[in-house]
């Protein structure tokens, strides 16, 4: 579903990603792991055209280098970020609604006459579906700063999935969550996969990754050093050395 060919990203004299190749199959939870500074988020940013790069990235039949970032949602791509990017002056439901911005059709005339696209039944049903899935209905009028960090993470996830993506990139979704929140988040990720969304996840929680991933790619210092199913990665000498500093 996603194919990365010979991806190289350079920042001056620093090569952040070096001749990197990766395939993500449809319907899988695919993890991209590695030590801090390995280049994982840079790969995400290349997919989203946030950085200049050499090589090619294909999503379905699209060459992503030719598609502006703001149009990626229209071909089925969505993502979250390492740091929460919620709007503090908007409440939960308003933050989630923003995920529909590129999907909804409005115009100047409709706006002048006060036509609210969010009152359309199909739109309201979609919003309610996401709120129910993430157990956020009770928080819809809360502002993010009044919510626990784990709940804020769910709001950001809701904004990412409300556009009905085919492919979802999650950058450290479990970072900062407590044990109970991680267990709940794990089940949410499985539900998203069962709904037909392919997931590419950057995450440092190895217990979570080994439990939910169908396939894992490992990076270190910008290079791919291993890939395979979770059990294969757990026993890969190169991966163990990169993480633990020992053979």
For residue 146, the enclosing domain spans: 84-164
Same domain, 103 and 212: no
- The answer for residues whose C-beta is within 8 angstroms of residue 11's C-beta and 6 or more apart is none
Is 47 a residue whose pLDDT tops 90?
yes
Is 85 a residue whose pLDDT tops 90?
no
Residues 213, 31 contacting (CB under 8 angstroms): yes
Q: Which pLDDT value is given to residue 72?
A: 94
Q: Which pLDDT value is given to residue 116?
A: 55
| Structural domain ending residue among the three candidates 142, 164, 186 | 164
Is 175 a residue whose pLDDT tops 90?
no
Q: What is the mean pLDDT of the chain?
A: 89
Same domain, 57 and 68: yes
Q: Which pLDDT value is given to residue 135?
A: 93
4-18, 80-94, 100-114, 173-187: lowest mean pLDDT where?
100-114
Sheet strands (E) in 133-213 = 167-171, 198-202
Is 37 a residue whose pLDDT tops 80?
yes
Q: Which pLDDT value is given to residue 112?
A: 52
The band of 105, judged by pLDDT with boundaries at 50, 70 and 90, is low
Q: Which contiguous run of DSSP H or E holds residue 19?
A: strand 14-24
Q: Which pLDDT value is given to residue 124?
A: 81
Is 106 a residue whose pLDDT tops 90?
no
Q: Which pLDDT value is given to residue 113?
A: 46
CATH of the domain at 197: 3.40.50.300
Same domain, 124 and 92: yes
Tell which wins on pLDDT, 85 or 19: 19
Same domain, 120 and 150: yes
Same domain, 157 and 193: no
Same domain, 156 and 89: yes
Same domain, 151 and 197: no
Q: Which pLDDT value is given to residue 123?
A: 77
pLDDT digits (tens, 9 = 90+) for 199-226: 999 998 989 999 999 999 999 999 999 9
Same domain, 246 and 169: yes
> What's the total number of domains in the chain?
2
| Structural domain ending residue among the three candidates 105, 132, 164 | 164
Is 104 a residue whose pLDDT tops 80?
no
Q: Which pLDDT value is given to residue 247?
A: 41
Same domain, 103 and 219: no
| Structural domain ending residue among the three candidates 111, 137, 164 | 164
Tell which wins on pLDDT, 212 or 85: 212
Same domain, 153 and 174: no
Same domain, 184 and 124: no
% residues pLDDT > 90 (the chain): 74
pTM comes to 0.89
pLDDT digits (tens, 9 = 90+) for 233-244: 999 988 888 775
Is 184 a residue whose pLDDT tops 60?
yes
Same domain, 96 and 58: no
């Amino acid at each position: 579903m996603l194919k990365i060919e010979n991806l190289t990203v350079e920042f001056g004299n620093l090569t952040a990603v070096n001749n990197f190749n990766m395939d993500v199959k449809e319907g899988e939870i695919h993890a991209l792991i590695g030590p801090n500074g390995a280049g994982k988020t840079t790969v995400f940013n290349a997919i989203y055209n946030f950085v200049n790069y050499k090589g090619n990235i294909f999503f379905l039949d699209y060459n992503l280098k030719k598609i502006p970032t703001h149009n990626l949602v229209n071909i089925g791509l969505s993502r979250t970020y390492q740091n929460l990017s919620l709007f503090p002056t908007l409440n939960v439901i308003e933050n989630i609604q923003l995920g529909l911005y590129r999907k909804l059709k409005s115009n100047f005339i409709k706006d002048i006459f006060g036509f609210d696209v969010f009152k359309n039944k199909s739109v309201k049903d979609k919003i309610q579906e996401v709120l129910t899935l993430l157990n956020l209905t009770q928080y819809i009028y809360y502002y993010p700063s009044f919510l626990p960090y784990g709940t804020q993470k769910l709001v950001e996830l809701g904004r990412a999935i409300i556009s009905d993506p085919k492919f979802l990139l999650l950058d450290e979704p479990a970072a900062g969550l407590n044990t109970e929140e991680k267990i709940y988040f794990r089940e949410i990720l499985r539900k998203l996969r069962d709904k037909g969304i392919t997931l590419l996840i950057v995450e440092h929680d190895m217990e979570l990754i080994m439990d939910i991933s169908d396939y894992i790619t490992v990076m270190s210092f910008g290079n791919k050093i291993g890939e395979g199913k979770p059990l294969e990665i757990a026993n890969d000498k190169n991966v163990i050395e990169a993480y633990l500093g020992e053979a």
